[in-house]
Every structure is written in C-alpha cells, then in structure tokens.
Amino acid sequence: MAMKEFQAESKRLLDLMIHSIYTNKEIFLRELISNASDAIDKSYYRSLVDNNITFNKEDFYIRITPDKENRTLTIIDTGIGMTREELENNLGTIAKSGSLAFKNENELKEGVDIIGQFGVGFYSSFMVSDVVTVKSRAIDSKEAYKWESKGAEGYEIESIEKEIVGTEIILKIKENTEDENYDDYLDEYRLKSLVKKYSDFIKYPIKMMVKKSKLKEGSEKEYEDYFEDEILNSMVPIWRKNKNELKTEDYDQFYIDKHFGFGKPLKAIHASVEGMASYNTILFIPDKAPYDFYTKEFEKGLELYSNGVLIMEKCADLLPDYFSFVQGLVDSADISLNISRELLQQDKQLKFIAKRIKDKIKNELELMLKNEREKYEEFYKSFGRQLKYGVYSEFGMNKDALQDLIMFYSSTEKKLVSLDEYVSRMKEEQKFIYYATGENVEKIEKLPQTEILKDKGFEILYFTDDIDEFAIKMLMKYKEKEFKSVSSGDLGFEADEKESKKETEENKELFDSMKDALNGKVKEVRASKRLKSHPVCLTNEGELSIEMEKVLNTMPNGGNVKADKVLEINTNHEVFNIIKQAFEGDKDKLKMLSNLLYNQALLIEGLSIEDPVQYANDVCRLLK
C-alpha cells in the first residue's frame, strides 16, 4: 500500500509537533476527547433532521483504554465517523482553525509555545506517540478504513472491518526520555485526573475500565483485583445547571474542588447570558486575599471554556486589574476551541463578555455594600486596596466605576464608611470632604491638625494606606465636594483664616526669625487657628502633601521630593509666650526652640528628624 504525503503546511506543523519541546503535552487528550465529543454532537444533529437515524443516549460514549504492555492508549467514540475522503481531508490537512500564516518562519522554528498559541487539535497526538492509528466507520457507510501515520513523512490508508459506526484512535505511546515520562499517559490515575482537569464537563460519558480490589469471596484478609467500568467525567457542569436547583453549599464545594480559595467564598455570582455573546459564568468573590495577592507573582484570570471544554486556565483578558481578585470561569459556545491566544485577545465576543462581567461584578459589589454591610467590610479589608489602586491607576480612567465601592475609616462613625455616606452626613456649612493621613487609626486620632475639625463636629476620613491620598487626588471631587487634607493650608474657615493672617502679620518679625532659624526647612511660620491643645503642627502648601512625600521617598525611584511645609504655632499656647520672651532677649534660645518645635512636629507627623542627637541635646539643655 502506498504512502501518501501530507500537504506542505501540515507536514511542517507535524514536524514541529513531533519535535516539540512544548511542556504541556498532556493537552493531546483534551483535543482527542473534544473531537470525539464533536463527532457525537454531529450524530445527534443528524438524528434531528434524518428520520432514519435515531439517537439513543446510551449508545453514545467515549472510551479510553490504556494498555501498558503494548504501550497503547486507545480513544473510542461512537460518533459520526469518517469516510475515506474525510480521513484524508480532515486528518491530512492542517486544522482550519489555526493558521500558520500568523507566524513567520523564524518564529515557527523557535516554535516553543506554538501549541499554546494555536491549539492544533488532532496533530497534538504526535507529541506523545510514535504511531497514530485511526480506524473509522462513517454513519451512512458499511465500509471502514484505517488511517495510520508515523509522523511527518506521510500516512497510509486501507480498508478494514469495523462493526460499529464511530472512530477509534490508537496511540503508540513513546518510550520515556530523560525529560518526559510518557508512561504517565498509560497510567490509570493520571488519565483520570487529566479527564477531570480538562474534560470534566463534556456532555457524553467518558468511560474507562478501572482496576479495583475487593475482599476475596470467603476470605477476610485476601484481596483480589477486578475491573469495573467507570465514568470519569461529571458531564453536566454546575454552571449549566439552573440556579434554582443549586444551594450555597454546591457553590462552596465547587469553589473548594477548583482550588479557587481555602475557605468559603464570600459570594458566588452565577449568570447565564444569551444574546450578542452567549455564555455561562460563575464568579467568586474570595473570602481572603491569597498570600501572594499583592505581589508580582499573582496571576489574575478566569477559566475559559468553549462549550464545556477548558481552553485556558487563566484568561487574564476577562478581568480588569482592579477586580483581579475574582475567581471563576466563563463557558461560551461562541469562542472556538482552537482559538489562538493572540486572536483571543482581539476577539470581539471575548471583549464583550469581559465588559459584561466587569459590570456584573461592580453591580454585585454595590449590592453587597448596600444589603450585606458586614460582608462587604470583610471583603473590603482584603481587597479594598486593590479597588483604591484601581481608582488611581490608568490615569483615573476607572474612577467613576469604582468611587462608590471605596471606603475609609471615619472619625465619627469609628468604622469604614463610603464616600456617599460621608457626603450625605455633611453639615450645611461644610465645604470639603476632610481627610487625615497617617500610619494607623490610633496615630491619626492624635494628630494636632484634626483638633479644629473635631471641635467643629466635622467628620474626618482616616487614610492609612499608602495609596489612599494618591487615589483621592485622582478623584479630586466626589459629588461636587472637594477633598481636603487636615494638613492643608486652607481648611475653608474664613473667619479663622482672617484671624490667623492678622496674628501672623502682628508677629511678623518673630515668625520670620523662626523661619530663618530653621534654615530653609519650612516655607513659612505662621499663627495657627486649627490647634487647640497642641503648641505646633506642620501643614503644607501645594499639591504634594507631607504624607505623599513620605510614600514617594520610600519608593526605589521616588527621588528626594519635598513637600512645601509650613510650621504653624498655636498663639494661645503657653509655649508661645516662651518663644516671645526668647525673641526679645535670647536669639540663641529662639533658634534652639524653633528647631525643637519643628522636630516635634516632624515626629508627630511620623517623619524622621534630620539630627536626632542635636534634638536630644536641645531637650537636655531645656531641662537644665
């Protein structure tokens, strides 16, 4: 019998496949099983239009049979089968879905990730086999044929006898090499887990004779092996089931089975969508951030299925970064099984699905905030930072979508509150949304700058995350209300401003000499109206706040930025009298006091002082 040659393109692809160093060889099984499932689908469709064909559910299955002795793995299906022409045409040509035209010659030679990028279907079986034999009998035919190939040279076809309609694919599994343990693909346990991983939700039963053991009859200790037919896949995926049939525990179990997280998910979102793109999805809001969530190692993404067949474990394009914590999957018949990664990125359907999923998550989170407050706060403790980061990143592009989801600790409520809640509580005369920054709530609570606002009964939001102030600068306003730091020059109290200006003017000479004594460390020294019990504090002018200075200076490329600082003095504090006396009599002491007070203010802000030894000496001098 004559050997036939493959078409040039197929030959090249096969060659690549055979010599591939691609690590994910195991996907061959997924490819063959989904071809088998497609073939059964086709029989089913035929039965719908052809009265001579009946579709008995029990007659349709896929069977996997490993044979260790002969090193063969056989995959049988009772699907539509192939005629001689179909064997030649379908298996002799490169799959229509992938096209080599996308890659230039050089890229092909490197070829490492070619399978990941193309999905090459049937040919992937050559990654694990020396010989591939296909026996097939087509649905309307009494004749059957055997197609066989040892690789790129070509294939042979001959007539055979085959009792039932369908296809049988026999892989002669390669010998083990140093890098690859091909025995795996003959191992019952491994095959079972591969089916679970990739093909669990194939609609038809995938059967395998599985070795089991039982007590020998009449014996209490002796066991004997026996074989039993087992269905390896669960067939109906949970996401295709009706929501009404499912309980919270079902979702929880699925979440655990899938290793999406450790505990129970905070929320499961299940949706079936028909229309522009049809898909089923289950999305989970995890209970806690994974240990690597806030590191570069964390990989976001949802599982992507094409009609029940897993095509990608982490499809990043389905989730925006700010929702990267969401786990789950999308199954769509509108996405082709063999779509390449590059094409997938541009895929209109996928983009559409991604947009819908984003909106869905946002809505669900808003509902959770509204109706399940405690749960939302729990969620927010784990993932709030990611949302605030989302407000800030991409030049604030997503701020509108996210502003209602972010929360901050409130000085009056003593818990996390949303911006909406804050604004709805604002006093009539209150112009701004006030915030204070610091390492933690306890430290902010003691900040001198907050005194006047507390005195007036205004609510203050406490910013304890590095990202907070940056995010808020990006927002600029919420519901037309500007954000204002308690440390900023102008707090919006006109009477106080006036008073402070007047007093600063009256003591101009004194404040100027203090400023000189501080030698460029501050832009100005002035009388404060925001202080009640504290003698001094630092405020800032301009866009860059003292807190931002702190954050930026801890970054590797933050440079050495400085906020414009102003030292404010409480003129009602007794310390002010001491300063006055020094100004009149002892210029040297004034210099020392200025530095002391400045350093004190730095310490309260959580900044380090330039010369701690000098500071300590000054304190000692005062004690004497």
Footprint on this chain of Mg ion (rule: CB under 5 A): 35, 121
Give least dist CB 40 to ligand ADP, A: 8
- Tokens describing residue 381: 């403790």
Nearer to ligand ADP, 85 or 482 (CB): 85
H/E stretch holding 34 reads helix 27-49
77 binds, among Mg ion, ligand ADP, none (CB under 5 to 8 A by kind): ligand ADP
Give least dist CB 204 to Mg ion, A: 15
Give least dist CB 95 to ligand ADP, A: 4
Give least dist CB 181 to ligand ADP, A: 25
Nearer to Mg ion, 121 or 166 (CB): 121
3-state class of 617 per DSSP? Answer: helix
Give least dist CB 137 to ligand ADP, A: 10
Q: Give me the helix-helix angle, 188-199 and 27-49, nearest 10°.
A: 60
Minimal CA–CA distance to 363: which of 392, 394, 401? 401
Contact residues for ligand ADP, defined by CB under 6 A: 31, 35-36, 39, 77, 79-80, 82, 90-91, 95, 97, 121-122, 167, 338
Give least dist CB 62 to ligand ADP, A: 9
Nearer to ligand ADP, 171 or 368 (CB): 171
Nearer to ligand ADP, 82 or 171 (CB): 82
Burial (0-12, 13-18, 19+ Cβ within 10 Å), 88: middle
Pairing type for strands 223-231 and 206-215 reads antiparallel
3-state class of 572 per DSSP? Answer: coil
CA dist list (Å): 222 to 217, 225, 484: 9, 10, 80
567 binds, among Mg ion, ligand ADP, none (CB under 5 to 8 A by kind): none
Nearer to ligand ADP, 90 or 403 (CB): 90
Enumerate the β-bridge partners of residue 408: 417
Minimal CA–CA distance to 544: which of 571, 566, 575? 566
369 binds, among ligand ADP, Mg ion, none (CB under 5 to 8 A by kind): none
Give least dist CB 38 to ligand ADP, A: 6
Minimal CB distance to ligand ADP: which residue?
Answer: 121
CA dist list (Å): 530 to 354, 374, 399, 534, 548: 49, 35, 32, 10, 21
Nearer to ligand ADP, 122 or 293 (CB): 122
Give least dist CB 35 to Mg ion, A: 4
Give least dist CB 52 to ligand ADP, A: 20
Phi, then psi, of 541 in degrees rounded to 5? -115, 155
Neighbouring residues of 614: CB distance < 8 A, sequence distance ≥ 6: 595
Nearer to Mg ion, 195 or 471 (CB): 195
Minimal CA–CA distance to 437: which of 506, 311, 538? 538
Give least dist CB 34 to Mg ion, A: 6
Q: Cα dihedral sign for 164, 166, 172, 177?
A: negative
Burial (0-12, 13-18, 19+ Cβ within 10 Å), 400: exposed
Enumerate the β-bridge partners of residue 402: none
Q: If you write DSSP's letter for every residue of 201-223 in order, what string do you get?
A: T-SS-EEEEEEEEEEPTT-SS-E
Nearer to ligand ADP, 62 or 566 (CB): 62
97 binds, among ligand ADP, Mg ion, none (CB under 5 to 8 A by kind): ligand ADP
90 binds, among ligand ADP, Mg ion, none (CB under 5 to 8 A by kind): ligand ADP
Nearer to ligand ADP, 90 or 500 (CB): 90
H/E stretch holding 383 reads helix 373-392
293 binds, among ligand ADP, Mg ion, none (CB under 5 to 8 A by kind): none
Q: Cα dihedral sign for 374, 375, 381, 385?
A: negative
Minimal CB distance to Mg ion: which residue?
Answer: 121
Nearer to Mg ion, 122 or 493 (CB): 122
